[in-house]
Amino acid sequence: MKIDDVKNIAVIGAGNMGHQIALLCALHGFKTTCTDVKPDILQKAEAFANSYLPERVKKGKLTQAQADQARANITFPSSLEEAVQDADYVIEAVVEVLEVKRKVFADLDRLAPPHAVLATNSSYIVSSRLADATQRPSKVLNLHFFNPALAMKLVEVVQGPHVADASAQISLALCERLEKIGVHLKKEVEGFLVNRVLRAMMRESLWLLEMDVASYEDIDKALIHGLGMPMGAFRLMDLTGIDLAYIRSMERFRETGDLADLPPPRLVERYVQGHYGQKTGKGWYDYSVNP
């Protein structure tokens, strides 16, 4: 299969990443389905498409014809079978929990056409931990978009030892069709490229906060004005989701057994309180008064 053979893309998981990836595909001419097991999440995803496209027209970023075509390209079926039955390429974007993803990949392998590539958008879980849940391991790989997927240019294409060269190359070609910058990781490494560096920054920022060296506001200021970062570690956690940071830490602890990998107390406190960041209106920062 070549990139010209990819006509239909299915996105599994309609949350913060999934619905943006799906709309991105629709905007670039692919017939796209986006599904989720939670009806309310799926409804929010469709509502986002219905509001985002007119806003882009209003801002002069899209013509009305382009917006109409993109909307015609995307559907939001509630059934996984319906979503993937014609898919040439599938992008999974469900919760970052290994057992959940393995179940999804087993279902995708059963329901999607045999030629379809099955990609995971996971930012940490390598595809070799998912591939053996399918009968097509050579077509299972990581295709990691960054948040927000409609705006961020980088996509990490991770080729584990089980991944066929053709699967990696078609994924890199898909990045080009989506007007993204694809980087090819020739081997699996935990955390990939960006998150290995980012995790070190997050870990040190959280340590400085826990040790009361500085407030999270001042740590963010230091990263922005001292290192030239566009936003600090805590503002970034609010953007990507404190719940995601907590889940990642817990998953890593389960893998390593190292107490140092457990999420720190102040992160746990916000997770338990449901203060996940921008999507809940409060995280490290209060977005009801400080958007």
pLDDT score at 53: 98
**Interhelix angle 265-273/242-256, nearest 10 degrees:** 130
> Looking at the domain assignment, is residue 288 inside a domain?
no
Contact by Cβ (8 Å): 38, 116: no
Domain with 212 in it: what CATH number? Answer: 1.10.1040.10
Looking at 128, 159, 185, the residue that finishes a domain is 185
Q: CB burial class (10 A; 0-12, 13-18, 19+) of residue 66?
A: middle
> Looking at the domain assignment, is residue 287 inside a domain?
no
pLDDT score at 290: 55
> Looking at the domain assignment, is residue 218 inside a domain?
yes
**Do 176 and 230 share a domain, yes or no?**
no
pLDDT score at 198: 87
> Looking at the domain assignment, is residue 290 inside a domain?
no
**Domain boundaries, position 128:** 3-185
**Do 37 and 69 share a domain, yes or no?**
yes
pLDDT in tens, the chain (291 residues): 999 999 999 999 999 999 999 999 999 999 999 999 999 999 999 999 999 999 999 999 999 999 999 999 999 999 999 999 999 999 999 998 899 999 999 999 999 999 999 999 998 899 999 999 999 999 999 999 998 999 999 999 999 999 999 999 999 999 999 999 999 999 999 889 998 888 899 999 999 999 999 999 999 999 999 999 999 999 999 998 999 899 989 988 988 899 989 999 999 999 999 999 999 999 999 998 755
Domain with 56 in it: what CATH number? Answer: 3.40.50.720
Q: State phi, psi for 134 to the nearest 5 degrees.
A: -125, 170
**Do 17 and 142 share a domain, yes or no?**
yes
Domain count, the chain: 2
